[in-house]
Structure 1
Amino acid sequence: MTAPARSRTSADLIRAEEPVLAHNYHPLPVVVARAEGAWVEDVEGRRYLDMLAGYSALNFGHRHPALVEAAHRQLDRLTLTSRAFHNDRLAEFAERLAQLTGQDMVLPMNTGAEAVESGIKVARKWAYDVKGVPADRATIVVAADNFHGRTTTIVSFSTDETARSGFGPFTPGFRVVPYDDLAALEEAVDETTAAVLIEPIQGEAGVIVPRDGYLAGVRELTRRRNCLFVADEIQSGLGRTGRTLAVDHEDVEPDVVLLGKALGGGIVPVSAVVGRREVLGVLNPGEHGSTFGGNPLAAAVGTAVVELLETGEFQHRADTLGAVLRDGLTRLVGRGVVGFRSRGLWAGVDVDPAIGSGREISERLMREGVLAKDTHGSTIRLAPPLTVTEDELLGALASFEKVLAV
């Protein structure tokens, strides 16, 4: 008989996963059992400061009281109807999310990858119905080193061989150009281009922040060449960078914004495509859908997330504490850190490979009670919950300094 989880150690549980879980992740050897705010606790009761926040899915920390309360209230009333019927929570969610993002319409989905796939479909439909691109000829221009998800269509335009290798044949209709290169983008856009799809800041690539003016340049180019600007804000949006959206740093208004992760408050998967009416309005009944998209529980939690962001408190915290993070990392340059990029409470930190790989550094941080995650070689991603305190952040930076000195 399998022992109940409460009587099994972290080592027991890690061993138990090996034969029954597909090996599509390589997690750090910590088994989280409880969490609150910026802290998690493992099976044995050891506490860790969460400096990853579920890749921005936990922007408001673990079990934020307002979000938990919203979920509990809705659980007692109604959880799912499917979109075969209306529900009493969806209208408010859509209204407030559209207003928060400065857009007109909302297409609710569940996961980030679904939002990207939906954005691709909407862009293609717009190209055929509005722009007049010949049938099945629409193209979408994307950036190298992108990360938009791992479905077969999305990995078709990835430049990460780990994500691509073994999963072909690949979906046609995409052109890849270097990130932060307006000249290359200009050359790739033609009369078949439905959209330019980019991350305002590339997360998986190592928190790559483009030069000032790049996003404004993408907006100007897409308007001039009559194609859509689709901004994937699934990781960068909803307060992470010190603004509601990362594009807000350049006062740019895309035609379509893709949202996810933090939109579900760390409680339920919630994503959305938000956009101008003349773009999302191309969809007709039966052309796209999701059984769980826009379900009452997701809409209730999503509305509570929007309510937190409407105050501006979390954007301000990310901006203010982002300066603390930036200053702390600046002091580590030349002392184990060879460089970093940051925007708000989000940083990609390049560690001297002689000190250790990103995985090794992450394991050392874990032993110091700090959870972070590597990406690509010796780069560490830092993305604490926006609820983190200055003292907690300084403590994490002190731990980082300590493991770099080992």
Structure 2
Amino acid sequence: MKKVLILGGGFGGIAAAHRLKQELGAEVDVTLVDKRNYFMVGFRKSWALVGEAPMEQGQRSLNDLTKIGVKVIQDTVSSIDPKTRSAEVNGQRLEADALVVALGADLMPQAIRGFKEHAYNVYDSNDIPRAAQALKDFKEGRILIGIFGVPYKCSPAPFEMALLIDASLKARGVRASIKVFTPQPMSIPILGQESCNTIEGRLSEKGIDFLPNHKATSIEDGEVVFPDDRESFDLLFGVPPHTAPAVVKESGLTDNTGWVTVNAKTLETAYPGVYAIGDVVQIAMPNGKPLPKAGVFAEGMGETAAARIAAQFKGEKAEATFKGEGGCYLEVGAGQAMMVTGHFMTEPEPQVTLTEATAQYMAEKRAFETDRLKKWFG
């Protein structure tokens, strides 16, 4: 029996496991390894931060995948050998006919001096309860929401958090000045200036200041330090720099970008039978810029890699390719959301648009979560 080893239980890993079982059923042995015991859609953190809904409500046990015949191991991957399509987990060497690396991106708060001491990490689900309590206790003052490095997952999320925090505080009658800063020249560069003007204009309408070209160097008590100025805060919510997991770097899979480079259409690495998907990879769009890191793309990559593996196992020609279609939702409050959507791998330039804010897109955002939880976990 052919074996597939999937490292990572996020969007990409779960999508790959499901597609493999769908294509091959009992004819393939699929093992999935993740240090966490659950899956959760990332935007749950925004809802939990403002007290709209608990994260636990959107979590599902990875062990539920055993119902479709996937072996699940909750542990840390200590080493990867792409040459032999193997990994070491808890002292045990796991080998396979195909290896799918879907370990995501690690957060690096330690890369910014003072981050751990003075900021709430709103991209870490373990820090969300503490951040939510701080927001609940907030009475008046200055709130900073900072992007401390690029690339980072889910480009719209920091701006969504700013709008939801603003709405939450106003509903409570709390006075606050809110600012969002980024090292980039505009809010979501892939959209272009016109659509970024729409996002930044909505922030401005709510009294939220947007600070582009602000690359923070450190955080001190009550101040974020930039090369040419400082910004004061009473409450700081931060998105820390991201990096490929150390175990992936040590395997030799990464290149000088710091991420795994793959064939943009097939997700194959330089090693036969080894695929990399999701946030751990860096794929160049036709215009040379990196594809944004998002769950919907990880899911598409997982489906593509699995379909190609299944075809090869069947002795058929592998024809599935990654299309780079999809997008992310940007909730704006009052039960409405926008969507950053399009064809990101279209030549010569990605075709990406920002929709109007509507209740329909908010409904679609909720359905994005519920549909996947139902499909993958029953």
Q: Judge same fold: TM > 0.5, yes or no.
A: no
Higher helix proportion: 1
Higher relative contact order (CA closer than 8 Å, sequence separation 6+):
1
Q: Report the TM-score, using the length of structure 2 for normalisation.
A: 0.29
Q: Report the TM-score, using the length of structure 1 for normalisation.
A: 0.28
